[in-house]
Amino acid sequence: MLLRFSVENWMSFRDEVTLDLVATREEQHSNHLVPIAKFGLKVLPVAAIYGANASGKSNLVKALSFAQHFITDPPKLDAPIPLRPFRLSKDFFERPSRFRIEALIEETVYEYTFSLSTDRVLEEELKRINATTEELLFRRGSGIEDFVLSEKVPEQDKQRFARQGTSENQLFLTNSVSQKLTAFKPVFDWILNGITVILPDFRFRNLSNGMNETHPLFDKMVGRLCRLDSGIASLRQIEVSPESIIPKALIDQLTATLKEGQSFPFGPFWETQGISVRKENGVIIARRLAPIHQNERGDEIVFSFADESDGTRRLFDLLPAFLHLEDNLPEVFVIDELDRSLHSLLTRNLLEHFLDMRTESSQSQLVFTTHDTQLMTQDIFRRDELWVTERDQTGASKLVAFSEFKDVRKDKDIRKSYLQGRLGGVPKFKSTSVVCEDEATVR
């Protein structure tokens, strides 16, 4: 489970900010919490992040996405590191960017920190957090000689050799795992598989990848699409001619390279209307995933996803993520603009269903950004589950939990306070008497 994520000098975040998913002493919705008895703490399953446009909400999501990809898919040797430091201060533009992930992984808490310039890793550190103490597993500086490795880490010689072979623009953790060393693999695997970031124009997982009536998500998807008033009665894969969509040379190549029963989506899901190809009995088969509606007589009518509304398509994008969340696996889903194209009541239904299905052993988590103030209610969330981003006068973003505001009582209408600007994170419109730069130029 994700406990904390911190970032410093990244896009609009000049100073360090921390998204903290360790619960406060807040008493509301205690059924949400996951108790970790070994460490004497409780973990939040959800964090909703509000803020005005350009306040930094998406930048926080992008920071976590960057950190994940830099760890699991490092740049090529000598390639520049695609950093995006705070640009409104020359001093900070030339300073390193810093990232820290603290997570509960297989009943052990790890804290992993690294700082970067555009051409090298400057610092890297992994700690194991015990109930009362911290244990340094390794610390790596910018030089080969600046490396500390705990004596408790196995395969000492191989680890030190892996450090020597780590290029300046890559992480030692990544190289250690790539060398088949297992000491830090649980951390790497959790960052790779335990975090899923869904940006507004990205999809979590398309269901056209071999989906049919036997697919594990098929019945759940159909049931939820129906109950959420999408108008879709069912889903069906309809066979189409491979020759009509795939060049013959590619068909021959797929026939030779695909394994029997192997399938994959043919191009972007919406552009290809959910077409996937599969090798069956040595032959390439193409199928289109189609939504099925019913007319007034109950007859089934085959639609395409081009016929569906933006909201239905967005729901189809997000439902697999929520179904995985409800399986209560140790995964954290980070969704930017959760409410995009969705009705407020539909979004609320998804969130409440996720929270209602939780037990003390549930380890799935959801972090999302939103503008939907109808969700900003203590009927759904605890105060420490609600966050706000805001830019100060220097253009730097801050991140604050509602639980940090002293006047946010558990009986308070926090949506009203937020919209009145008492909690920050709302647009600050300038008076018409204020002359902006472009207007001044025109005048």
pLDDT, tens digit (0-9, with 9 covering 90-100), for 281-297: 999 998 888 899 999 99
Task: Tell me how far apart the alpha carbons of residues 312 and 342 are, in angstroms, rounded to a whole number.
Answer: 8
pLDDT score of 305: 85
pLDDT score of 5: 98
Judged against a pLDDT cut of 80, whether residue 202 lies above it is answered with no
Same structural domain for residues 274 and 380?
no
pLDDT score of 136: 97
The model's confidence at residue 78, banded by pLDDT at 50, 70 and 90, is confident
Same structural domain for residues 357 and 396?
yes
Judged against a pLDDT cut of 50, whether residue 174 lies above it is answered with yes
**124 within domain boundaries:** yes
Task: Please state the rounded mean pLDDT for residues 198-223.
Answer: 70
Task: Tell me how far apart the alpha carbons of residues 151 and 136 are, in angstroms, rounded to a whole number.
Answer: 10
Q: Residue 46 belongs to a domain with what CATH number?
A: 3.40.50
The model's confidence at residue 262, banded by pLDDT at 50, 70 and 90, is confident
Task: Tell me how far apart the alpha carbons of residues 166 and 172 are, in angstroms, rounded to a whole number.
Answer: 6
**362 within domain boundaries:** yes
**206 within domain boundaries:** no
Judged against a pLDDT cut of 60, whether residue 439 lies above it is answered with no
Closest of 240, 236, 237, 235 to residue 286, by C-alpha: 240
The residue that leads in pLDDT, 211 or 125, is 125
Same structural domain for residues 163 and 106?
yes
- The answer to whether 355 touches 322, Cβ cutoff 8 Å, is no
Q: Indicate the pairing of strand 283-294 with strand 300-302.
A: antiparallel
Judged against a pLDDT cut of 70, whether residue 267 lies above it is answered with no
What's the one-letter identity of residue 110? Y
Judged against a pLDDT cut of 60, whether residue 442 lies above it is answered with no
Count of structural domains within the chain: 2
Task: Please state the rounded mean pLDDT for residues 25-44.
Answer: 92
The model's confidence at residue 207, banded by pLDDT at 50, 70 and 90, is very low
The residue that leads in pLDDT, 80 or 261, is 80
**210 within domain boundaries:** no
**428 within domain boundaries:** no
Using CB atoms within 10 Å of the CB of residue 129, give its burial: 0 to 12 exposed, 13 to 18 middle, 19+ buried.
middle
Same structural domain for residues 415 and 282?
no
pLDDT in tens, 362-406: 999 999 999 999 999 999 999 999 999 999 999 999 999 999 987
Domain that holds residue 355: 2-194+330-419
**% of the chain exceeding 90 in pLDDT:** 65
- The answer to whether 67 touches 73, Cβ cutoff 8 Å, is no
Same structural domain for residues 297 and 258?
yes
Same structural domain for residues 243 and 150?
no
**325 within domain boundaries:** no
Same structural domain for residues 163 and 247?
no
